[in-house]
Copies of this chain bind each other. A is one copy, B any other.
Amino acid sequence: MCSRALTIGALAEQTGCNVPTIRYYEEIGLLPPARRRPGGHRFYSEDDLRQLTFIRRCRDFGFSVEQVRTLVSLAQDPDRDCNETRDLAQAHLAEVRRKLIELRALESSLEAFVDNCTAACAGGPASQCTITQDLTGPRGSRCCG
């Protein structure tokens, strides 16, 4: 036997979750109800540790809680097809790639803003700042053009 029991604090530490987050996961049914000590404190096994590590990693990897719920049930049901898991991961990969494209565009816009402002208007009034003007749009203050 090797079931060192973990407190919720120890579990939190080992998984990188916060304590209230673990209780929250239990509340929403992402984790099964924890076993309890006579006094009411939760305790956890190594299996629980593995399961929460899995969940935590999925969340780190950007899966939504609902997606994680699916992944967990997939991982626990030996009859389910592994293609489902892969499809989920693949859909998620596509989403990550879309975000990457957006973020890269955002990065160069911001970079240009900052450089431009430093070069052109450093220290002037904010209403004349090139960043503000770029964001206000090319129409400027013209009217009924």
Chain A residues near B (Cβ < 8 Å): 2, 4, 46, 50, 53-54, 57-58, 61-62, 71, 74-86, 89-90, 92-93, 96-97, 99-100, 103-104, 106-107, 109-111, 113-114, 117-118, 121-129, 131-132, 135-137, 139, 141, 143-144
Contact = CB atoms under 8 A, between A and B. Distances in A.
Contacts of A131: 82, 85-86, 89
A104 B110 contact: no
Contacts of A132: 54, 71, 74-75, 82, 85
Contact of A50 (B80, B81, B137): B137
Contact of A85 (B83, B129, B141): B129
Contact of A110 (B83, B92, B123, B125): B92
Considering residues A46, A118, A121, A143, which has the most beta carbons from chain B within 10 angstroms of its beta carbon?
A143
Contact of A81 (B80, B104, B125, B135): B125
